[in-house]
Structure 1
Amino acid sequence: MDEVIGVHGLVVLLQGIVLGIAIAAPVGPIGLLCIRRTLQHGPLMGFFTGFGAAVADTIYGAIAAFGVSAALDFLQGHEIAFQLVGGIFLIVVAIRTFRQKPEDEEREAASAPDTPSFLGGFMTGLSLTLTNPATIMAFIAIFAGFGLGGNLGRVDASTLVAGVFIGASLWWLALSMGVAAVRHRISDRGLTRLNHCTGVALAAFGLWALGMAFTGMAGWAMG
């Protein structure tokens, strides 16, 4: 019996790991920031940016797994506000990214070599993911599709959430280490182009979020 329970727990954990990777892997704002920061500040900075997103994914995964209706109602009721905040934040990050030059960042690093802003990277990943209502909706949809969610017992729900955290964290670790491995092949001109492309892409994500928010507000007003 104990052996069956152990196998079941391992299966649930593996399901969580796969779900964590599936949620984290699609290229979006956090992925772009992780790649850029890894290239310009090293793999630790890139990982901490992604790790913030992994923590946010875990929070939303826990809400979906435990079926916390009060939290779900709050998130759905304030979806427009989250989209507005997230969209504005993305555009601010986009402008800063687009204008940043490799030599500027080298001067910043030289002026504070012992205090890399890992916390800043973590908070960026955390806040951008928490202000994206699509994350919790993705968890709800995936959990429902696999017959998971509020009907899970506490042990299974906790195991599933732990798997989500492990899977998401492993993805960001693999991405940052993989990008760091090719860092030496990219010139300053390449980094500048990356900044420009990343800035434009982040701005597009931000404008999309704002557009969704204003569309939602218009629909709410007409309703």
Structure 2
Amino acid sequence: MDIRFLVKGLIIGFSIAAPVGPIGILCIRRSLSDGHWVGFFTGLGAASADAFYGFIAGFGLTIISNILVSQQIILKLIGGLFLCYLGLKTALAKPAQDAANPSGKVVSAYASTFFLTVTNPMTILSFVAIFAGLGLGSSNNYGDAGILVLGVFLGSALWWLILVSGVSLFRDKISSDTLHWVNRMSGILIFGFGLGALFSLVIGD
């Protein structure tokens, strides 16, 4: 086992997760409105999807990769519509009264971001490009490939843990009225990302 593959995976997972997009906005909003654990599981869903695509790229599963790339229009349509739905739902949501008891919210938080990340065609394209550029794809050593994928998951999860922990520090200092505005603004931004994905289909991007 080569520990360098774990380090490379950590760097790849962290760097792909770090740019702020709809998932980042959703994670910040849920951390403020619903508490630390809901926010963390929101990010963990994205980290799991990153690991899934890292698995495809790391093990050189070109058949699956080609199928996903060929269906990117359908995936973008589904993802765009779901983002619009999630944006409206977020804008109309009320802040949780008891952030210490997230109950079943962690499950839906995890599932929704896993679905959003998996249906983003750019995710698989990013992993394929990065792995190919670094010469990490189609490895004959499945042990090293597995360590690489583990690193991708841990790197992505590390980013979400850092983000959620930082945001959660401010939750107790924010009033209920402010949280309502956080929900509305987050919902509008997420809805905007959804419209952007759908519009890109119309212009053929």
CA contact (8 A) 1:65 1:152 kept: no
Question: Which shows bigger deviation, 149-158 or 51-60?
Answer: 149-158
* Counterpart code for 1:150: S
Q: 2:18 maps to which residue?
A: 25
CA distance in 2, matches of 1:203, 1:165: 27
Match of 2:155 among 142, 150, 167: 167
Structure 2: segments with no counterpart, 5+ residues: none
* Counterpart code for 1:91: C
CA shift digits 1:158-189 (9 cap, x unpaired): 11111001111111112111111111222223
Is residue 7 of structure 2 the alignment partner of residue 14 of structure 1? yes
Offset, 1:152: 5.2
* TM-score normalised by structure 2 residue count: 0.93
Q: 1:139 maps to which residue?
A: 127
Is residue 193 of structure 2 the alignment partner of residue 208 of structure 1? no
CA contact (8 A) 2:55 2:149 kept: yes
Aligned to 2:90, the other structure's residue is in SS state: helix
CA contact (8 A) 1:81 1:213 kept: no
CA distance in 2, matches of 1:25, 1:168: 8
CA shift digits 1:69-100 (9 cap, x unpaired): 11011101211110010000000010111122
* TM-score normalised by structure 1 residue count: 0.85
Is residue 136 of structure 2 the alignment partner of residue 148 of structure 1? yes
C-alpha RMSD of the superposition: 1.8
Aligned to 2:91, the other structure's residue is in SS state: helix
Q: 1:88 maps to which residue?
A: 81
Q: 2:49 maps to which residue?
A: 56
Aligned identity (percent) is 44
* Counterpart code for 1:166: L
CA contact (8 A) 2:34 2:102 kept: no
Q: 1:183 maps to which residue?
A: 171
Moved over 4 A (4+): none
Aligned to 1:191, the other structure's residue is in SS state: helix
Structure 1: segments with no counterpart, 5+ residues: 1-5
Offset, 1:114: 7.1
Is residue 91 of structure 2 the alignment partner of residue 98 of structure 1? yes
